[in-house]
Amino acid sequence: MTSETLTCSSAARISRARLSSGSSRTDSTLARKRTTKLRASAGKAARRSVVLPYRRGMPARKRPTPEDTATARRVLLDGLARDADIFELVSELAPLHPRDNTFPGELFLRLAADALNWCGASRADPLPLEGLRERFLPECSFRGRQNTKLQYAMLAAAALHGGTEPDLLDEVAWWQTDDFWQYALFAAVAYIRAAASRAGVPVRQACQDLAQRPGHPAP
């Protein structure tokens, strides 16, 4: 084989290598562009997935009505008064909950705050939270983030009782789940049962007394 042949063969190999390298660089550039587009699309999709309730422009049919508020309040208090299963209450109340909405969670937090006021809980004579879940929600089992969600609902109700307004939307937007109202319900059940125990009366009487108090308007 002549040196000229070797030179041509080497040149061909170099040329193929350059083409291959150029093709790899092109593929890499295209891949980076596709990745950038996918990330941008994913970011837009994620932003669309966070739906905040009660924003302006929402159709009126999506807003809870005063009748919805009265019904949710009655279902909870009547159910507790007859010692209904808490999960039956969840099923009965579910149709009142608009998708991606905190209602009727706000109502349940205010009922919980009313229960704290009814039993005389105050800074001078507080209701201990330690062991409250175990004593007054024995039928429920919470794990991981579920405990955190319940704790938030219970502290939010206590904050309402203390005269502050929790920023529910800012908190719940990070949950990435549509179940705040259920944890608010659990918190209300626990507080009403605890309030009755503190007052030394049956839960039925506590519910009857709370039902006589003025209801809260629809949000």
Provide, rounded to the nearest whole percent, the portion of the chain with pLDDT above 90: 64
| pLDDT digit string, tens, across residues 124-169 | 999 999 999 999 999 999 999 999 999 999 999 999 999 999 999 8
Give the residue extent of every domain in the chain.
Answer: 1-49, 60-211
Residue with tokens 């939270």: 129
3-state SS string over 103-165? CCHHHHHHHHHHHHHHCCCCCCCCCCCCCHHHHHCCCCCCCCHHHHHHHHHHHHHHHHHHCCC
| pLDDT digit string, tens, across residues 187-219 | 999 999 999 999 999 999 999 999 998 766 555
- Judge whether residue 4 has pLDDT over 80: no
Phi/psi at 137 (nearest 5 deg)? -135, 50
Taking the model in full, what pTM does it have?
0.70
DSSP 96: G
